[in-house]
Amino acid sequence: MNGADVLCDVLLANDVTVCFANPGTSEMHFVAALDRKPEMRCVLGLFEGVVTGAADGYARMTDRPAATLLHTGPGLANGLANMHNARRAFSPMINIVGDHASYHLPLDAPLTSDIEGLAAPMSNWVRRISGPEDVQPATEAAFRASLTPPGVTTLILPADAAWGGAAPASPGKVVVSPPPTVDMDAVREVAAAIRVAPGRVGMIVRGRAARADALEIAGQISTTCDVHLFSEVLIARMQRGRGRVAPTRIPYPIDAATELLSDIDVLVLVGGKEPVAFFAYPGKPGRLVRDDCQVLTLAAHGQDLHAALEALRDELGVKPSQQTVATAFPDEAAPSGKLTDDAIALSVARKLPDNAIVCDEAVTSARRFFALSAFAAPHDYMMGTGGSIGGGIPMATGAAIACPDRKVINLEADGSGMYTVQGLWTQARENLDVVTIVFSNRTYAILHGEMKNVGVNAIGENARRILDLDHPALDWVSLAKGMGVEAARAETCEQFDALLDSALSRRGPFLIEAVI
């Protein structure tokens, strides 16, 4: 029994049964310990961004952490972008970062780095294990921290702590404190504000407040008290589809967002923060609500959002009632001819299987899908929440491992997908039921829009060469096949519909390159 064995035992005792990994020399004792624990599912990612992004997708769908295994500071650094997305999504995650033996650090070997300094900005909690005897309490603390409130934790495992002899672990379930009770003062304050400003109150739901049961309560309040129901721009997880309450998503463009919120006198936050512009632009506001808008928090992340909504409903005297929910799909003719981004969004929304999981990183190309998804079959909808691209393919990978009985649809921009294309290989190796739809417009379309937002209406050759993905054009069919994933290309609506029908009728990974 060594420290690495103890670490594995503590994880397994607390139902952490999946480890997304990209190990190196410092982690070999931990890899050997994993080999002795068949209960642990070990999933290799060929790049650390795939590892952390998959752990994010897994956590969003299970509400519990997976472990990641990363190699020293550079390995951790490769995974930071999707740790950032996970932190913004409030995803529970336990990163295990191997390091040199403690006595080797003063020698400043080539891979020596400030792991704590790298981890801190993208983690809610960081701890270095001091020795074999500290493995069990440190791992238990990491697990507890990953859930109170849910977030990213990073545990640094020196090699000598992993290989050092340790007393046999007798780990039990770590006691995780329940969320704090509902703040009735906040409930009464919000209820009073709703009563005095009917029709001019907005409510933003996120986290657990965006699940179907909580949305039902929010919908009752919205219908009865004339409250506008919103979601944030980037959605960690929302349960959508026919029969479910469908909040209006706040738009990404500043002008559209400020217009939507212009008549809101009171903004109520349930599980999130006040929405702000992604970037500063000359002459445009950073806040999306008016400066005189009253912003109130009903309940914050880490609190019981469902119970808070129930308490608000009761305080307002709202009786359970029929909410306004989407039912029939809009009467819109099926598109034909040359493929467009709107045609893809319409086709996917119409054909979406019951209980599917949609991971949306199509950026500009699939903006219409969210509105259409209100009429689709019931499903879960997720996006990258931190604005860091490259999360879509890994997120879909983790979601498919979390929910092997559910179809996963990944709406993927071609530029974003290239950041973590290696995730397709993991999907092939694990035979995951993921359909990846690549919007192949061969450009960073969102950045063309951002150039216009800063006042540049015409770009020259230098700008074009760093914003477009042509010369050579990406060949996603070849890329996918090289990773072991079956793939085909569609250039017309008819071709796309046929490929989508085929992909949805079978299990296993499949990629459609949708040329638009």
pLDDT in tens, 267-305: 999 999 999 999 999 999 999 999 999 999 999 999 999
Give burial (CB, 10 Å; 0-12/13-18/19+) of 381. Answer: buried
pLDDT digits (tens, 9 = 90+) for 417-436: 999 999 999 999 999 999 99
- Ramachandran area for residue 302 (φ above 0: left; ψ -120 to 50: alpha; else beta): left
Other residues' Cβ atoms within 10 Å of the Cβ of residue 477: 18
pLDDT digits (tens, 9 = 90+) for 120-175: 999 999 999 999 999 999 999 999 999 999 999 999 999 999 999 877 668 889 99
> And the tokens for 380?
């879960």
CA dist., res. 132 & res. 187, Å (int) = 47
Question: Which residue, chain included where needed, has tokens 């931190």?
Answer: 386
Query: Under a CB-based contact definition with an 8 Å cutoff, are residues 411 and 361 in contact?
Result: yes
Higher pLDDT, 454 or 210: 210
- What integer pLDDT is reported at residue 140 of this predicted model? 97
- Ramachandran area for residue 455 (φ above 0: left; ψ -120 to 50: alpha; else beta): left
- The fold adopted by the segment(s) 341-515 is Rossmann fold (3.40.50)
Count each helix (H run) and each strand (E run) in the chain, helices first.
21, 18
Residue 81's nearest CA partner among 393, 470, 446 is: 393
Residue 166 carries which DSSP code? -
SS (H, E, C) 255-271: HHHHHHCCCCCEEEEEC
Per-residue b/e over 54-73, b at no fewer than 16 CB within 10 Å? bbbbbbbbbebbbbbbbbbb
- Ramachandran area for residue 202 (φ above 0: left; ψ -120 to 50: alpha; else beta): beta
> And the tokens for 477?
């069919």
Other residues' Cβ atoms within 10 Å of the Cβ of residue 272: 20
Query: Under a CB-based contact definition with an 8 Å cutoff, are residues 412 and 468 in contact?
Result: no
- The fold adopted by the segment(s) 184-316 is Rossmann fold (3.40.50)
3-class DSSP assignment, residue 207: helix
Query: Under a CB-based contact definition with an 8 Å cutoff, are residues 438 and 417 in contact?
Result: yes
3-class DSSP assignment, residue 492: strand
Average pLDDT, the chain: 95
Residues 6+ apart with CB under 8 A from 58: 18, 20, 66, 398, 399, 401, 402
pLDDT digits (tens, 9 = 90+) for 475-485: 999 999 999 99
Query: Under a CB-based contact definition with an 8 Å cutoff, are residues 270 and 247 in contact?
Result: no
Pairing of strands 18-22, 67-71: parallel
Indicate the domain borders of the chain.
3-163, 184-316, 341-515
Sign of the alpha-carbon dihedral angle for 382, 387, 393, 399: negative
Q: At residue 214, does pLDDT exceed 80?
A: yes
Other residues' Cβ atoms within 10 Å of the Cβ of residue 79: 29
Query: Under a CB-based contact definition with an 8 Å cutoff, are residues 127 and 144 in contact?
Result: no
Residues 6+ apart with CB under 8 A from 423: 45, 50, 53, 54, 393, 394, 396, 397
3-class DSSP assignment, residue 157: strand
Q: Looking at residues 425-452, what average pLDDT do you find?
A: 89
CA dist., res. 98 & res. 137, Å (int) = 17
- What integer pLDDT is reported at residue 168 of this predicted model? 67
- What integer pLDDT is reported at residue 169 of this predicted model? 66
Other residues' Cβ atoms within 10 Å of the Cβ of residue 319: 9
CA dist., res. 327 & res. 376, Å (int) = 9
pLDDT above 90 covers a percentage of the chain that reads 88
Where do the DSSP E strands lie in 391-483?
408-413, 434-440
- The fold adopted by the segment(s) 3-163 is Rossmann fold (3.40.50)
Note if the bond before 472 is cis, omega within 30 degrees.
yes
Residue 16's nearest CA partner among 56, 64, 85 is: 64
Total-model pTM: 0.95
Distances (CA, A) of 118 to 33, 68, 123, 397, 488: 26, 16, 9, 25, 40
pLDDT digits (tens, 9 = 90+) for 320-348: 876 767 777 888 888 999 999 999 999 99
pLDDT digits (tens, 9 = 90+) for 63-112: 999 999 999 999 999 999 999 999 999 999 999 999 999 999 999 999 99
Residue 201's nearest CA partner among 77, 289, 320 is: 289
- What integer pLDDT is reported at residue 462 of this predicted model? 86
> What confidence tier does 199 reach under pLDDT thresholds 50, 70, 90?
very high
- What integer pLDDT is reported at residue 171 of this predicted model? 84
- What integer pLDDT is reported at residue 276 of this predicted model? 96
- What integer pLDDT is reported at residue 451 of this predicted model? 81
pLDDT above 70 covers a percentage of the chain that reads 99
